[in-house]
Protein backbone atom coordinates (compact mmCIF):
# COMPACT_ATOMS: atom_id res chain seq x y z
CA UNK A 1 0.00 0.00 0.00
CA UNK A 2 2.80 2.40 0.85
CA UNK A 3 4.61 1.35 -2.30
CA UNK A 4 1.64 2.32 -4.39
CA UNK A 5 1.44 5.64 -2.66
CA UNK A 6 5.12 6.23 -3.20
CA UNK A 7 4.76 5.56 -6.87
CA UNK A 8 1.90 7.96 -7.00
CA UNK A 9 3.87 10.64 -5.28
CA UNK A 10 6.87 10.13 -7.49
CA UNK A 11 4.79 10.33 -10.61
CA UNK A 12 3.29 13.54 -9.32
CA UNK A 13 -0.31 12.17 -8.83
CA UNK A 14 -2.71 13.31 -6.00
CA UNK A 15 -5.01 10.41 -5.05
CA UNK A 16 -8.30 11.51 -3.43
CA UNK A 17 -9.30 10.76 0.07
CA UNK A 18 -5.74 10.33 1.43
CA UNK A 19 -5.00 10.09 5.11
CA UNK A 20 -3.42 13.28 6.58
CA UNK A 21 -1.08 11.18 8.64
CA UNK A 22 0.12 9.47 5.62
CA UNK A 23 0.74 12.82 3.93
CA UNK A 24 2.83 13.97 6.84
CA UNK A 25 4.78 10.76 6.71
CA UNK A 26 5.47 11.26 3.03
CA UNK A 27 6.45 14.85 3.68
CA UNK A 28 8.99 13.72 6.25
CA UNK A 29 10.37 10.77 4.32
CA UNK A 30 10.35 12.08 0.68
CA UNK A 31 10.88 15.75 1.24
CA UNK A 32 14.17 15.96 -0.73
CA UNK A 33 12.92 13.94 -3.68
CA UNK A 34 9.74 15.98 -3.87
CA UNK A 35 11.76 19.21 -4.02
CA UNK A 36 13.94 17.87 -6.80
CA UNK A 37 10.90 16.71 -8.78
CA UNK A 38 9.33 20.11 -8.41
CA UNK A 39 12.56 21.79 -9.55
CA UNK A 40 12.70 19.56 -12.61
CA UNK A 41 9.10 20.39 -13.48
CA UNK A 42 9.89 24.08 -13.28
CA UNK A 43 12.97 23.69 -15.52
CA UNK A 44 11.08 21.68 -18.11
CA UNK A 45 8.32 24.16 -18.21
CA UNK A 46 10.82 27.05 -18.49
CA UNK A 47 12.81 25.30 -21.27
CA UNK A 48 9.67 24.75 -23.34
CA UNK A 49 8.71 28.37 -23.00
CA UNK A 50 12.30 29.51 -23.88
CA UNK A 51 12.53 27.23 -26.91
CA UNK A 52 9.30 28.64 -28.27
CA UNK A 53 10.52 32.17 -27.68
CA UNK A 54 13.87 31.46 -29.38
CA UNK A 55 12.18 29.86 -32.39
CA UNK A 56 10.24 33.05 -32.93
CA UNK A 57 13.39 35.21 -33.11
CA UNK A 58 16.18 32.83 -34.17
CA UNK A 59 16.27 33.99 -37.84
CA UNK A 60 16.41 37.65 -36.89
CA UNK A 61 19.04 36.85 -34.24
CA UNK A 62 21.27 35.07 -36.77
CA UNK A 63 21.01 37.99 -39.21
CA UNK A 64 21.71 40.53 -36.48
CA UNK A 65 24.66 38.60 -35.07
CA UNK A 66 26.16 38.05 -38.53
CA UNK A 67 26.07 41.78 -39.24
CA UNK A 68 28.09 42.50 -36.10
CA UNK A 69 31.07 40.14 -36.51
CA UNK A 70 32.18 36.68 -37.70
CA UNK A 71 31.77 34.91 -34.38
CA UNK A 72 28.65 33.04 -35.53
CA UNK A 73 30.45 31.72 -38.63
CA UNK A 74 33.45 30.70 -36.55
CA UNK A 75 31.18 28.85 -34.14
CA UNK A 76 29.16 27.03 -36.83
CA UNK A 77 32.05 26.15 -39.19
CA UNK A 78 33.33 23.10 -37.23
CA UNK A 79 29.79 21.75 -36.87
CA UNK A 80 28.99 22.13 -40.58
CA UNK A 81 32.32 20.62 -41.64
CA UNK A 82 31.88 17.58 -39.41
CA UNK A 83 28.32 17.11 -40.65
CA UNK A 84 29.39 17.25 -44.31
CA UNK A 85 32.24 14.82 -43.72
CA UNK A 86 29.92 12.32 -42.05
CA UNK A 87 27.37 12.66 -44.84
CA UNK A 88 30.05 12.23 -47.56
CA UNK A 89 31.34 9.07 -45.87
CA UNK A 90 27.86 7.58 -45.59
CA UNK A 91 26.40 8.63 -49.00
CA UNK A 92 29.17 9.80 -51.43
CA UNK A 93 27.17 8.82 -54.52
CA UNK A 94 24.42 11.30 -53.67
CA UNK A 95 26.87 14.21 -53.47
CA UNK A 96 28.61 13.23 -56.73
CA UNK A 97 25.32 13.05 -58.60
CA UNK A 98 24.25 16.46 -57.36
CA UNK A 99 27.54 18.37 -57.72
CA UNK A 100 28.94 16.96 -61.01
CA UNK A 101 26.41 18.62 -63.40
CA UNK A 102 26.91 21.97 -61.69
CA UNK A 103 30.68 22.22 -61.48
CA UNK A 104 31.52 20.12 -64.55
CA UNK A 105 32.04 23.21 -66.72
CA UNK A 106 34.53 24.61 -64.20
CA UNK A 107 36.82 21.56 -64.20
CA UNK A 108 37.20 20.95 -67.93
CA UNK A 109 40.56 19.61 -68.93
CA UNK A 110 42.66 20.85 -71.86
CA UNK A 111 43.98 17.80 -73.73
CA UNK A 112 45.91 18.13 -76.96
CA UNK A 113 45.65 15.03 -79.14
CA UNK A 114 46.73 14.24 -82.73
CA UNK A 115 44.49 12.19 -84.96
CA UNK A 116 44.73 10.74 -88.43
CA UNK A 117 43.43 12.86 -91.28
CA UNK A 118 41.79 10.20 -93.55
CA UNK A 119 38.16 11.36 -93.78
CA UNK A 120 35.25 10.89 -96.19
CA UNK A 121 31.90 11.94 -97.57
CA UNK A 122 29.61 10.05 -99.97
CA UNK A 123 28.19 13.23 -101.46
CA UNK A 124 31.67 14.41 -102.29
CA UNK A 125 32.38 11.18 -104.13
CA UNK A 126 29.38 11.84 -106.39
CA UNK A 127 30.45 15.43 -106.94
CA UNK A 128 33.92 14.42 -108.13
CA UNK A 129 32.95 11.25 -110.02
CA UNK A 130 33.46 12.60 -113.54
CA UNK A 131 35.67 15.62 -112.95
CA UNK A 132 39.43 15.64 -113.77
CA UNK A 133 40.11 15.61 -110.07
CA UNK A 134 37.71 12.66 -109.66
CA UNK A 135 39.51 10.68 -112.37
CA UNK A 136 42.80 11.34 -110.62
CA UNK A 137 41.34 10.13 -107.32
CA UNK A 138 39.92 6.99 -108.97
CA UNK A 139 43.41 6.12 -110.18
CA UNK A 140 44.70 6.73 -106.66
CA UNK A 141 41.97 4.44 -105.23
CA UNK A 142 42.96 1.64 -107.61
CA UNK A 143 46.65 2.02 -106.73
CA UNK A 144 45.94 2.14 -102.97
CA UNK A 145 43.44 -0.71 -103.05
CA UNK A 146 40.70 1.39 -101.44
CA UNK A 147 37.21 2.42 -102.45
CA UNK A 148 36.66 5.63 -104.36
CA UNK A 149 34.51 7.00 -101.52
CA UNK A 150 37.37 6.55 -99.05
CA UNK A 151 39.78 8.40 -101.32
CA UNK A 152 37.26 11.23 -101.76
CA UNK A 153 36.86 11.47 -98.00
CA UNK A 154 40.63 11.59 -97.57
CA UNK A 155 40.78 14.70 -99.75
CA UNK A 156 37.49 16.46 -98.91
CA UNK A 157 36.57 15.83 -95.25
CA UNK A 158 38.48 17.03 -92.21
CA UNK A 159 36.29 15.21 -89.63
CA UNK A 160 32.76 13.86 -89.18
CA UNK A 161 30.78 12.66 -86.11
CA UNK A 162 29.13 9.39 -87.20
CA UNK A 163 27.63 7.89 -84.02
CA UNK A 164 27.08 8.94 -80.42
CA UNK A 165 26.02 6.80 -77.44
CA UNK A 166 24.71 7.63 -73.95
CA UNK A 167 25.73 4.74 -71.69
CA UNK A 168 24.95 4.03 -68.04
CA UNK A 169 28.22 4.06 -66.11
CA UNK A 170 27.45 1.33 -63.59
CA UNK A 171 25.68 -1.24 -65.79
CA UNK A 172 27.24 -0.39 -69.15
CA UNK A 173 23.79 -0.43 -70.83
CA UNK A 174 23.04 1.90 -73.73
CA UNK A 175 20.49 4.50 -72.64
CA UNK A 176 20.25 6.28 -76.02
CA UNK A 177 22.17 6.41 -79.30
CA UNK A 178 21.99 8.27 -82.62
CA UNK A 179 23.58 7.58 -86.03
CA UNK A 180 24.49 10.32 -88.53
CA UNK A 181 22.93 10.33 -92.01
CA UNK A 182 24.52 8.05 -94.56
CA UNK A 183 26.39 6.04 -91.89
CA UNK A 184 25.92 2.30 -91.39
CA UNK A 185 24.25 1.61 -88.02
CA UNK A 186 26.39 -0.55 -85.78
CA UNK A 187 25.18 -2.76 -82.92
CA UNK A 188 24.94 -0.36 -79.98
CA UNK A 189 25.02 -3.11 -77.32
CA UNK A 190 28.11 -4.67 -78.86
CA UNK A 191 29.92 -1.29 -78.88
CA UNK A 192 28.81 -0.62 -75.28
CA UNK A 193 30.11 -3.98 -74.15
CA UNK A 194 33.39 -3.43 -75.96
CA UNK A 195 33.88 -0.01 -74.36
CA UNK A 196 33.01 -1.32 -70.90
CA UNK A 197 35.45 -4.23 -71.24
CA UNK A 198 38.26 -1.99 -72.57
CA UNK A 199 37.75 0.62 -69.84
CA UNK A 200 37.68 -2.01 -67.10
CA UNK A 201 40.84 -3.56 -68.51
CA UNK A 202 42.63 -0.19 -68.70
CA UNK A 203 41.50 0.70 -65.19
CA UNK A 204 42.67 -2.61 -63.74
CA UNK A 205 46.04 -2.40 -65.47
CA UNK A 206 46.97 1.25 -65.13
CA UNK A 207 44.88 2.91 -62.41
CA UNK A 208 46.47 3.29 -58.97
CA UNK A 209 44.77 2.00 -55.85
CA UNK A 210 41.91 4.25 -54.77
CA UNK A 211 42.14 6.40 -57.91
CA UNK A 212 38.59 6.44 -59.22
CA UNK A 213 39.30 9.31 -61.64
CA UNK A 214 41.54 7.24 -63.93
CA UNK A 215 39.62 6.40 -67.07
CA UNK A 216 40.00 6.00 -70.83
CA UNK A 217 39.34 9.30 -72.62
CA UNK A 218 39.77 8.24 -76.24
CA UNK A 219 40.27 5.13 -78.31
CA UNK A 220 41.96 5.10 -81.74
CA UNK A 221 40.42 2.52 -84.09
CA UNK A 222 42.21 3.06 -87.42
CA UNK A 223 40.17 5.54 -89.45
CA UNK A 224 37.97 6.17 -86.42
CA UNK A 225 38.49 7.68 -83.00
CA UNK A 226 36.08 7.13 -80.10
CA UNK A 227 35.94 10.02 -77.64
CA UNK A 228 34.63 9.29 -74.15
CA UNK A 229 33.29 11.84 -71.66
CA UNK A 230 32.56 10.27 -68.28
CA UNK A 231 30.57 10.98 -65.13
CA UNK A 232 29.75 8.69 -62.18
CA UNK A 233 26.20 8.14 -63.52
CA UNK A 234 26.59 8.06 -67.29
CA UNK A 235 29.07 8.73 -70.07
CA UNK A 236 29.04 9.73 -73.74
CA UNK A 237 30.89 7.75 -76.42
CA UNK A 238 31.31 9.62 -79.73
CA UNK A 239 32.54 7.82 -82.87
CA UNK A 240 34.43 10.28 -85.12
CA UNK A 241 35.99 9.73 -88.54
CA UNK A 242 38.97 11.98 -89.16
CA UNK A 243 40.73 14.66 -87.15
CA UNK A 244 38.30 16.30 -84.74
CA UNK A 245 39.07 19.70 -83.23
CA UNK A 246 39.35 20.31 -79.50
CA UNK A 247 36.00 22.14 -79.62
CA UNK A 248 34.20 18.81 -80.19
CA UNK A 249 35.44 17.45 -76.85
CA UNK A 250 34.26 20.63 -75.15
CA UNK A 251 30.86 20.17 -76.81
CA UNK A 252 30.66 16.58 -75.54
CA UNK A 253 31.38 17.70 -71.97
CA UNK A 254 28.73 20.41 -72.12
CA UNK A 255 26.17 17.96 -73.56
CA UNK A 256 26.89 15.42 -70.82
CA UNK A 257 26.45 18.11 -68.16
CA UNK A 258 23.08 19.12 -69.62
CA UNK A 259 21.91 15.49 -69.71
CA UNK A 260 23.01 14.89 -66.12
CA UNK A 261 21.25 18.03 -64.97
CA UNK A 262 18.01 16.98 -66.64
CA UNK A 263 18.04 13.23 -65.95
CA UNK A 264 19.83 13.16 -62.61
CA UNK A 265 16.93 11.64 -60.66
CA UNK A 266 16.16 9.09 -63.39
CA UNK A 267 19.81 8.02 -63.50
CA UNK A 268 19.91 7.71 -59.71
CA UNK A 269 16.97 5.24 -59.79
CA UNK A 270 17.78 3.54 -63.10
CA UNK A 271 16.56 -0.08 -63.18
CA UNK A 272 16.89 -0.88 -66.89
CA UNK A 273 14.03 1.24 -68.28
CA UNK A 274 15.35 3.24 -71.26
CA UNK A 275 12.10 5.03 -72.14
CA UNK A 276 12.80 8.22 -70.13
CA UNK A 277 15.99 8.77 -72.15
CA UNK A 278 14.18 9.19 -75.44
CA UNK A 279 14.08 12.87 -74.49
CA UNK A 280 17.90 12.89 -74.53
CA UNK A 281 17.99 12.52 -78.34
CA UNK A 282 18.00 16.30 -79.07
CA UNK A 283 21.03 16.72 -76.83
CA UNK A 284 22.88 13.92 -78.66
CA UNK A 285 21.85 15.18 -82.08
CA UNK A 286 23.34 18.55 -81.26
CA UNK A 287 26.77 16.86 -81.13
CA UNK A 288 26.69 15.83 -84.80
CA UNK A 289 29.19 17.96 -86.71
CA UNK A 290 31.51 17.76 -89.66
CA UNK A 291 34.07 19.92 -91.41
CA UNK A 292 34.90 19.72 -95.11
CA UNK A 293 38.08 20.80 -96.82
CA UNK A 294 37.63 24.30 -98.13
CA UNK A 295 37.98 24.25 -101.86
CA UNK A 296 39.89 26.98 -103.54
CA UNK A 297 37.70 29.38 -105.42
CA UNK A 298 38.31 29.53 -109.12
CA UNK A 299 39.91 32.74 -110.24
CA UNK A 300 38.22 34.43 -113.16
CA UNK A 301 40.06 35.08 -116.42
CA UNK A 302 39.86 38.85 -115.91
CA UNK A 303 41.28 38.51 -112.42
CA UNK A 304 44.12 36.38 -113.75
CA UNK A 305 44.87 39.01 -116.40
CA UNK A 306 44.84 41.78 -113.80
CA UNK A 307 47.05 39.76 -111.48
CA UNK A 308 49.43 39.05 -114.35
CA UNK A 309 49.58 42.73 -115.29
CA UNK A 310 50.22 43.62 -111.67
CA UNK A 311 53.02 41.06 -111.40
CA UNK A 312 54.58 42.32 -114.64
CA UNK A 313 54.39 45.92 -113.43
CA UNK A 314 55.78 44.95 -110.04
CA UNK A 315 58.65 42.98 -111.55
CA UNK A 316 59.33 45.80 -114.01
CA UNK A 317 59.36 48.39 -111.24
CA UNK A 318 61.60 46.20 -109.12
CA UNK A 319 63.93 45.58 -112.07
CA UNK A 320 64.06 49.28 -112.85
CA UNK A 321 64.76 50.11 -109.21
CA UNK A 322 67.62 47.60 -109.13
CA UNK A 323 68.95 48.92 -112.46
CA UNK A 324 68.51 52.50 -111.28
CA UNK A 325 70.31 51.79 -107.99
CA UNK A 326 73.11 50.01 -109.85
CA UNK A 327 73.64 52.94 -112.21
CA UNK A 328 73.48 55.40 -109.35
CA UNK A 329 76.04 53.46 -107.31
CA UNK A 330 78.30 53.15 -110.35
CA UNK A 331 78.20 56.90 -110.99
CA UNK A 332 78.85 57.64 -107.32
CA UNK A 333 81.80 55.25 -107.35
CA UNK A 334 83.21 56.84 -110.51
CA UNK A 335 82.96 60.36 -109.11
CA UNK A 336 83.99 59.45 -105.58
CA UNK A 337 87.12 57.60 -106.72
CA UNK A 338 88.30 60.33 -109.10
CA UNK A 339 91.10 62.57 -107.74
CA UNK A 340 89.91 66.13 -107.24
CA UNK A 341 86.31 65.14 -106.37
CA UNK A 342 84.77 64.71 -102.91
CA UNK A 343 81.06 63.77 -102.84
CA UNK A 344 79.14 65.25 -99.94
CA UNK A 345 75.49 64.66 -100.93
CA UNK A 346 73.46 62.62 -103.43
CA UNK A 347 69.72 62.55 -104.07
CA UNK A 348 68.20 59.77 -106.18
CA UNK A 349 64.59 59.13 -107.21
CA UNK A 350 62.79 56.59 -109.40
CA UNK A 351 61.47 59.39 -111.59
CA UNK A 352 63.56 59.67 -114.75
CA UNK A 353 65.23 62.99 -114.06
CA UNK A 354 68.84 64.03 -113.38
CA UNK A 355 70.25 62.92 -110.06
CA UNK A 356 71.14 65.80 -107.78
CA UNK A 357 74.72 65.72 -106.51
CA UNK A 358 76.81 68.08 -104.42
CA UNK A 359 80.58 67.67 -104.51
CA UNK A 360 83.83 69.41 -103.75
CA UNK A 361 85.88 69.81 -106.94
CA UNK A 362 89.33 71.06 -107.85
CA UNK A 363 89.57 73.19 -110.95
CA UNK A 364 92.23 70.84 -112.39
CA UNK A 365 90.07 67.69 -111.91
CA UNK A 366 88.71 65.89 -114.96
CA UNK A 367 85.50 67.60 -116.17
CA UNK A 368 82.35 65.75 -115.11
CA UNK A 369 81.04 65.02 -118.65
CA UNK A 370 84.37 63.48 -119.61
CA UNK A 371 84.48 61.54 -116.38
CA UNK A 372 80.97 60.12 -116.88
CA UNK A 373 81.59 59.27 -120.53
CA UNK A 374 84.45 57.02 -119.47
CA UNK A 375 81.96 54.86 -117.56
CA UNK A 376 79.38 54.89 -120.33
CA UNK A 377 77.07 57.45 -118.71
CA UNK A 378 75.67 60.70 -120.01
CA UNK A 379 76.18 64.02 -118.35
CA UNK A 380 72.42 64.60 -118.66
CA UNK A 381 71.81 61.96 -116.01
CA UNK A 382 73.51 64.01 -113.30
CA UNK A 383 73.13 67.56 -112.15
CA UNK A 384 76.01 68.38 -109.86
CA UNK A 385 76.71 71.47 -107.79
CA UNK A 386 80.40 72.04 -107.18
CA UNK A 387 82.20 73.75 -104.32
CA UNK A 388 85.75 74.80 -105.31
CA UNK A 389 88.65 73.29 -103.37
CA UNK A 390 92.43 72.98 -103.78
CA UNK A 391 93.06 69.25 -103.88
CA UNK A 392 96.34 67.87 -102.58
CA UNK A 393 96.01 64.67 -104.60
CA UNK A 394 99.42 64.04 -106.28
CA UNK A 395 97.86 63.63 -109.72
CA UNK A 396 96.08 66.98 -109.38
CA UNK A 397 99.21 68.68 -108.04
CA UNK A 398 101.19 67.28 -110.98
CA UNK A 399 98.68 68.80 -113.38
CA UNK A 400 99.01 72.16 -111.68
CA UNK A 401 102.80 71.99 -111.81
CA UNK A 402 102.76 71.10 -115.48
CA UNK A 403 100.39 73.88 -116.38
CA UNK A 404 101.73 76.66 -114.20
CA UNK A 405 105.41 75.92 -114.83
CA UNK A 406 104.92 75.52 -118.58
CA UNK A 407 107.45 72.74 -118.73
CA UNK A 408 109.99 73.08 -121.50
CA UNK A 409 110.49 70.18 -123.84
CA UNK A 410 112.55 67.53 -122.12
CA UNK A 411 111.66 68.54 -118.55
CA UNK A 412 109.72 65.95 -116.50
CA UNK A 413 108.04 65.88 -113.09
CA UNK A 414 107.79 62.79 -110.88
CA UNK A 415 106.15 62.20 -107.51
CA UNK A 416 108.01 60.27 -104.82
CA UNK A 417 105.35 58.63 -102.67
CA UNK A 418 107.78 57.45 -100.00
CA UNK A 419 109.14 60.95 -99.36
CA UNK A 420 106.05 62.88 -100.44
CA UNK A 421 108.16 65.05 -102.72
CA UNK A 422 108.15 66.19 -106.34
CA UNK A 423 111.25 65.84 -108.55
CA UNK A 424 111.80 68.04 -111.60
CA UNK A 425 114.55 67.04 -113.98
CA UNK A 426 115.78 67.88 -117.48
CA UNK A 427 117.41 70.70 -119.43
CA UNK A 428 115.89 74.15 -119.17
CA UNK A 429 116.71 77.81 -119.26
CA UNK A 430 118.35 79.14 -116.13
CA UNK A 431 115.70 81.84 -115.72
CA UNK A 432 112.95 79.20 -116.01
CA UNK A 433 114.66 77.09 -113.38
CA UNK A 434 114.86 80.08 -111.06
CA UNK A 435 111.18 80.95 -111.53
CA UNK A 436 110.03 77.30 -111.39
CA UNK A 437 111.16 76.90 -107.83
CA UNK A 438 109.32 80.05 -106.74
CA UNK A 439 106.12 79.13 -108.56
CA UNK A 440 106.11 75.51 -107.43
CA UNK A 441 106.00 76.40 -103.74
CA UNK A 442 102.88 78.54 -104.30
CA UNK A 443 100.89 75.43 -105.31
CA UNK A 444 98.98 73.73 -102.40
CA UNK A 445 100.38 70.28 -101.80
CA UNK A 446 103.95 71.06 -102.84
CA UNK A 447 105.84 70.84 -99.59
CA UNK A 448 109.02 69.20 -100.85
CA UNK A 449 110.58 70.08 -104.23
CA UNK A 450 113.79 68.65 -105.67
CA UNK A 451 115.25 70.49 -108.73
CA UNK A 452 118.71 69.04 -108.51
CA UNK A 453 118.01 67.20 -111.73
CA UNK A 454 117.48 70.47 -113.65
CA UNK A 455 120.29 71.99 -115.71
CA UNK A 456 120.80 74.82 -118.26
CA UNK A 457 122.94 73.67 -121.25
CA UNK A 458 124.89 76.95 -121.01
CA UNK A 459 126.05 76.05 -117.52
CA UNK A 460 128.89 74.06 -119.07
CA UNK A 461 130.05 77.08 -121.10
CA UNK A 462 129.92 79.23 -117.97
CA UNK A 463 131.94 76.73 -116.04
CA UNK A 464 134.48 76.37 -118.85
CA UNK A 465 134.97 80.10 -119.34
CA UNK A 466 135.14 80.71 -115.61
CA UNK A 467 137.74 78.00 -115.20
CA UNK A 468 139.84 79.16 -118.16
CA UNK A 469 139.85 82.81 -117.02
CA UNK A 470 140.70 81.99 -113.41
CA UNK A 471 143.51 79.64 -114.54
CA UNK A 472 145.13 82.30 -116.73
CA UNK A 473 148.15 84.13 -115.21
CA UNK A 474 149.55 87.19 -117.06
CA UNK A 475 153.19 88.08 -116.13
CA UNK A 476 154.76 91.54 -116.36
CA UNK A 477 158.28 92.98 -116.96
CA UNK A 478 160.38 94.15 -113.97
CA UNK A 479 159.23 97.56 -112.67
CA UNK A 480 156.69 97.94 -115.55
CA UNK A 481 152.94 97.73 -116.30
CA UNK A 482 153.27 95.99 -119.63
CA UNK A 483 152.98 92.18 -119.91
CA UNK A 484 156.01 90.39 -121.15
CA UNK A 485 155.98 89.65 -124.87
CA UNK A 486 155.14 85.94 -124.41
CA UNK A 487 152.04 86.77 -122.29
CA UNK A 488 150.75 89.68 -124.34
CA UNK A 489 148.33 87.47 -126.23
CA UNK A 490 146.99 86.13 -122.94
CA UNK A 491 145.79 89.59 -122.04
CA UNK A 492 143.87 89.80 -125.31
CA UNK A 493 142.42 86.28 -124.89
CA UNK A 494 141.28 86.87 -121.32
CA UNK A 495 139.61 90.12 -122.25
CA UNK A 496 137.78 88.38 -125.12
CA UNK A 497 136.66 85.55 -122.85
CA UNK A 498 135.40 88.02 -120.23
CA UNK A 499 133.36 89.85 -122.88
CA UNK A 500 131.92 86.49 -124.03
CA UNK A 501 131.15 85.50 -120.44
CA UNK A 502 129.48 88.84 -119.83
CA UNK A 503 127.18 88.37 -122.81
CA UNK A 504 126.31 84.83 -121.72
CA UNK A 505 125.49 85.79 -118.14
CA UNK A 506 123.42 88.72 -119.34
CA UNK A 507 121.44 86.35 -121.54
CA UNK A 508 120.94 83.91 -118.67
CA UNK A 509 120.08 86.62 -116.16
CA UNK A 510 123.05 85.85 -113.95
CA UNK A 511 124.87 88.67 -112.24
CA UNK A 512 128.61 88.61 -113.02
CA UNK A 513 131.43 90.32 -111.11
CA UNK A 514 135.21 90.27 -111.67
CA UNK A 515 138.01 90.64 -109.12
CA UNK A 516 141.60 91.37 -110.36
CA UNK A 517 144.57 90.84 -108.06
CA UNK A 518 147.90 92.58 -109.01
CA UNK A 519 151.23 91.24 -107.63
CA UNK A 520 154.92 92.42 -107.54
CA UNK A 521 158.25 90.81 -106.70
CA UNK A 522 160.51 91.77 -103.79
CA UNK A 523 162.46 94.41 -105.74
CA UNK A 524 161.88 97.89 -104.48
CA UNK A 525 160.03 99.24 -101.55
CA UNK A 526 156.67 97.93 -100.47
CA UNK A 527 154.96 101.20 -101.32
CA UNK A 528 156.45 101.08 -104.79
CA UNK A 529 155.47 97.43 -105.18
CA UNK A 530 151.90 98.16 -104.12
CA UNK A 531 151.56 100.96 -106.65
CA UNK A 532 152.98 98.77 -109.42
CA UNK A 533 150.69 95.84 -108.56
CA UNK A 534 147.66 98.17 -108.55
CA UNK A 535 148.65 99.55 -111.96
CA UNK A 536 149.07 96.08 -113.38
CA UNK A 537 145.45 95.18 -112.30
CA UNK A 538 144.20 98.34 -114.02
CA UNK A 539 145.74 97.20 -117.32
CA UNK A 540 143.17 94.42 -117.71
CA UNK A 541 140.34 96.64 -116.51
CA UNK A 542 141.25 99.28 -119.07
CA UNK A 543 141.36 96.62 -121.77
CA UNK A 544 137.82 95.47 -120.88
CA UNK A 545 136.43 98.97 -120.74
CA UNK A 546 137.98 99.62 -124.11
CA UNK A 547 135.97 96.70 -125.49
CA UNK A 548 132.75 98.17 -124.04
CA UNK A 549 132.41 95.74 -121.15
CA UNK A 550 130.34 96.79 -118.14
CA UNK A 551 131.39 94.01 -115.82
CA UNK A 552 131.67 95.28 -112.25
CA UNK A 553 135.39 95.00 -111.48
CA UNK A 554 137.17 95.06 -108.15
CA UNK A 555 140.93 95.67 -108.34
CA UNK A 556 143.39 94.96 -105.58
CA UNK A 557 147.10 95.75 -105.51
CA UNK A 558 148.69 93.07 -103.39
CA UNK A 559 152.29 94.42 -103.57
CA UNK A 560 154.90 91.76 -102.84
CA UNK A 561 152.94 90.19 -99.98
CA UNK A 562 152.24 87.07 -102.04
CA UNK A 563 155.60 86.77 -103.83
CA UNK A 564 156.26 83.21 -104.92
CA UNK A 565 159.96 83.30 -103.87
CA UNK A 566 162.49 85.21 -101.73
CA UNK A 567 164.55 86.21 -104.74
CA UNK A 568 164.50 89.89 -105.52
CA UNK A 569 163.75 89.48 -109.16
CA UNK A 570 161.12 86.75 -109.77
CA UNK A 571 159.14 86.79 -113.01
CA UNK A 572 156.34 84.56 -111.65
CA UNK A 573 155.72 87.01 -108.81
CA UNK A 574 155.10 89.91 -111.23
CA UNK A 575 151.59 88.98 -112.41
CA UNK A 576 147.79 89.51 -112.25
CA UNK A 577 145.12 86.90 -111.29
CA UNK A 578 141.31 86.91 -111.92
CA UNK A 579 138.37 85.58 -109.94
CA UNK A 580 134.83 85.27 -111.43
CA UNK A 581 131.75 85.57 -109.19
CA UNK A 582 128.13 84.70 -110.14
CA UNK A 583 125.01 85.78 -108.20
CA UNK A 584 123.25 82.33 -108.24
CA UNK A 585 119.54 82.68 -107.37
CA UNK A 586 118.47 79.20 -108.45
CA UNK A 587 120.34 77.29 -105.81
CA UNK A 588 122.01 75.19 -108.51
CA UNK A 589 125.67 74.59 -107.93
CA UNK A 590 127.87 75.57 -110.91
Tell me what pLDDT residue 481 has.
85
Q: Which of 403, 424, 449 is at the close of a domain? A: 449
Q: Which of 431, 449, 467 is at the close of a domain? A: 449
* 5 within domain boundaries: no
Does residue 310 share a domain with residue 199?
Answer: no
Least confident span in 136-140, 261-265, 550-554 = 136-140
Task: Spell out the residues 6+ positions from residue 256 whose beta carbon is closer than 8 angstroms to its own.
Answer: 104, 229, 231, 234, 235, 236
Distance (Å, whole) CA 240 – CA 450: 101
* 206 within domain boundaries: yes
Does the pLDDT value for residue 383 go beyond 60? yes
Distance (Å, whole) CA 92 – CA 45: 42
Does the pLDDT value for residue 508 go beyond 60? yes
* 14 within domain boundaries: no
Does residue 333 share a domain with residue 192?
Answer: no
Could you tell me which residue, 306 or 9, shows the higher pLDDT? 306
pLDDT band at residue 437 using 50, 70 and 90 as cut-offs: confident
* 325 within domain boundaries: yes
Q: Max alpha carbon distance in the chain (Å)?
A: 222
Does residue 288 share a domain with residue 308?
Answer: no
Q: What would the pLDDT profile of 11-39 be if each residue is shown by its tens digit?
A: 444 445 557 777 777 777 777 777 778 77
* 520 within domain boundaries: yes
Distance (Å, whole) CA 487 – CA 493: 10
DSSP of 51-86: HHHHHHHHHHHHHHHHHH-SHHHHHHHHHHHHHHHH
Q: Where would I find the H helices in 338-458?
A: 368-374, 394-405, 430-440
Does residue 404 share a domain with residue 361?
Answer: no
Least confident span in 43-47, 267-271, 309-313, 509-513 = 43-47
Does residue 492 share a domain with residue 506?
Answer: yes
Does residue 243 share a domain with residue 150?
Answer: yes
The CATH number of the domain where 328 resides is what?
A: 3.30.300
* 96 within domain boundaries: no
Does residue 132 share a domain with residue 78?
Answer: no
* 11 within domain boundaries: no
Could you tell me which residue, 453 or 91, shows the higher pLDDT? 453
The CATH number of the domain where 273 resides is what?
A: 3.30.450.70
Q: What would the pLDDT profile of 90-136 be if each residue is shown by its tens digit?
A: 766 665 566 555 444 444 443 333 333 333 344 444 555 556 666 77
Does residue 240 share a domain with residue 372?
Answer: no
Nearest to 343 by CA among 327, 361, 330, 329: 361
* 376 within domain boundaries: yes
Q: Which of 429, 449, 469 is at the close of a domain? A: 449
Q: What would the pLDDT profile of 158-174 be if each residue is shown by its tens digit?
A: 788 888 888 888 888 88
Average of pLDDT values for 172-190?
79
Q: What would the pLDDT profile of 344-382 be if each residue is shown by its tens digit?
A: 888 766 565 677 888 999 989 989 888 888 888 887 878
Q: Which residue range is the domain that position 466 belongs to?
A: 459-583
Mean pLDDT in the chain?
A: 78
Tell me what pLDDT residue 578 has.
92
The CATH number of the domain where 484 resides is what?
A: 3.30.1330.60
What b-and-e string marks burial along 326-343, b requiring 16 or more CB atoms within 10 Å of the CB? ebbeebbebbeebbbbbb
How many domains would you assign to the chain?
A: 5
Q: What would the pLDDT profile of 482-502 be if each residue is shown by its tens digit?
A: 899 899 899 999 999 999 999
Highest mean pLDDT among 61-70, 132-141, 202-211, 434-443: 434-443
Nearest to 248 by CA among 111, 102, 101, 106: 111
Amino acid sequence: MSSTSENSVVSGGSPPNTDPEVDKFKELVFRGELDRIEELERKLDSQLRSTKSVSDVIAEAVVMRSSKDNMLSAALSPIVENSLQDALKKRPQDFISIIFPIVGSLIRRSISETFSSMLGSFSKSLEFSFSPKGIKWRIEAIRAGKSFSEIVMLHTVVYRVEQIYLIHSESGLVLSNLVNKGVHDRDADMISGMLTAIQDFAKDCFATAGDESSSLNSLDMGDYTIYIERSPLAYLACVVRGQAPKELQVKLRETLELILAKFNDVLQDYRGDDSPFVAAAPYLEDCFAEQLVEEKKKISFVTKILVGIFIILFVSALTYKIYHSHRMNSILNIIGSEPGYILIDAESTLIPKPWQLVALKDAFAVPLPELLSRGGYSADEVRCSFIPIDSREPSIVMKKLQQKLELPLGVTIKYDLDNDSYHISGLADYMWITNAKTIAYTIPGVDNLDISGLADPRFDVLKRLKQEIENTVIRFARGGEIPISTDQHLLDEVSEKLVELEKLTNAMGIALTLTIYGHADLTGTEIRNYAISQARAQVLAAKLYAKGSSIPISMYGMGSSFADTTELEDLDSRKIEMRIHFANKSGIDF
